[in-house]
Amino acid sequence: MTGVKVVVLGGSGVATPGLAEALVHSQDRSQPIDLVLVGRTAAKLEKVAAVAQIMAGADPLLAITHTTDVEAALDGADYVINQIRVGGLEARAFDESYPLALGLPGEETVGPGGFANASRTIPVALEYAKLVERVCPQATMLSFANPASVVQYAVTAYTSVNAVGLCDGPISLINTIAAALDAPADGPADELSVDYVGMHHFGWVTGVWRRGEDILGEVLDRAAEVAKDVDPAIVRAIGAVPGSYLNYVFHPDRMVERKRGKRPRAEELLDLQDEILEDFDNAIAEGRPPQALARRKAAWYRAIIAPVLLALVEGTCGNPAYQRRQAILNVVNQRAIPWLPEDAVVEIPTVIDQGRLRPLVPGAVPVDVQVMIQRNCTYEMLAVKAIVERDRALALRALLLNPIVHTYDQAAAVLERAWAGPGCSG
């Protein structure tokens, strides 16, 4: 089958068969897709690809192949999904654990852990992006590698690759709000709509409407339900609903205590990965879908990756069922948010129409939310430049602005440990 070529970098991840499943369960498809999984470990890649083919079944619009040859895979690609995890789950365990020794919460996308992750991921992501730039410059990159907006900003700042970032976090937040209101999150567009503004894992819902009626006040009254890990007093005082990762900003002490003495999430995922791979062997031998994969809870493929990919693929080809789709995406700001730099990567509602992206200008944003987003934006832009140029002074400046780092001693210690961590050469 010759169709739209979609290359998945990091395609040997055990959750990847979920992408095939999400595609085949999507309605109103018309365009054939050649899905090419790319990974470094041949044996694991072959196993994941075989399970993905089982998940695809006999779907006539989806063909799945795999290779360890990145350049060959990219030749003629129309879309590139970047879901690489540099250093694997072992490196993620470092990201989650080393900050605790500094009295800071550990997490792979934000704070000190996010900086360590970015330090080893950005150089590799740029190598791939420059290969895309040379081999398939017409391709659109769907960026899903963590920390997402930092990696995406590096790609857009240092290459000409057209990149859009994806995260299912905003969808989860909206679903939580919908559940608190007893409203169908997947109902008609005029049933429940929101204003959303921010950056990856730093987003805010600043307005909520139900059938055209402003109900933000009702949502704020249910602050304990819609923002479970942030004190309700904060939500009501600011007048906006923070995304779940803002708990690291407002309650770093609570997050430290919650994580102290517990296994890093990455170690749990390593154990689960072994179980999933063993189940893959049985599934391949028996020709059945795997059972353990559901425990990975990879909701992102069905929630955001498959819908956006199909909106681009089908929309470009004129499929009326996929015109004017809307999603909250990470895109280059341009002039959508006037109080942020034009080249910043921001997370805002975006219309996907005929394969083109049109970011929507957000509504009113509380001034303190603006300031927090501006600070996080400055941190991310400085951090990317520091990592690419291996500039320690610039990295220190960035960390002094990180919303979870509060003192010079903390910033200096994070820099020393992150740049000495796995996969980094400070």
Above pLDDT 90, what percent of the chain?
Answer: 92
> Residue 189's pLDDT is what?
57
Quick one: average pLDDT of 174-189? 82
CB 88 within 8 A of CB 16: no
Using pLDDT thresholds of 50, 70 and 90, give the confidence band for residue 85: very high
Quick one: average pLDDT of 41-70? 97
Using pLDDT thresholds of 50, 70 and 90, give the confidence band for residue 425: low
Assigned token pair, 197: 């503004």
Quick one: average pLDDT of 52-73? 97
Question: Is pLDDT above 80 for 426?
Answer: no
Using pLDDT thresholds of 50, 70 and 90, give the confidence band for residue 288: very high
> Residue 168's pLDDT is what?
96
84-88, 183-187, 212-216, 379-383: which range is least confident on average?
183-187
Measured distance CA(31)–CA(29) in Å, rounded: 6
Assigned token pair, 378: 């400055």
Using pLDDT thresholds of 50, 70 and 90, give the confidence band for residue 191: confident
> Residue 184's pLDDT is what?
74
Question: Is pLDDT above 70 for 272?
Answer: yes
137-146, 194-203, 291-300: which range is least confident on average?
291-300
Measured distance CA(13)–CA(7) in Å, rounded: 14
Question: Is pLDDT above 70 for 237?
Answer: yes
pLDDT one-digit tens code per residue, 312-357: 999 999 999 999 999 999 999 999 999 999 999 999 999 999 989 9
Residue with tokens 């992150």: 418
> Residue 187's pLDDT is what?
61
Question: Is pLDDT above 70 for 186?
Answer: no
Question: Is pLDDT above 90 for 2?
Answer: no
Quick one: average pLDDT of 408-414? 98
Report how far apart the first and last C-alpha atoms of the chain are (Å, whole number): 46
Measured distance CA(339)–CA(336) in Å, rounded: 9
> Residue 424's pLDDT is what?
72
For 42-81, b where at least 16 C-beta lie within 10 A, e where not — what string? Answer: eebbbbbbbbbbbbbeebebbbbebbbebeebbeebbbbb
Residue with tokens 């509060």: 406
Using pLDDT thresholds of 50, 70 and 90, give the confidence band for residue 39: very high
Measured distance CA(369)–CA(240) in Å, rounded: 8
> Residue 261's pLDDT is what?
87
- At the fourth CATH level, the homologous superfamily of domain 4-165 is NAD(P)-binding Rossmann-like Domain (3.40.50.720)
pLDDT one-digit tens code per residue, 96-152: 999 999 999 999 999 999 999 999 999 999 999 999 999 999 999 999 999 999 999
Assigned token pair, 224: 């304990």
> Residue 190's pLDDT is what?
59
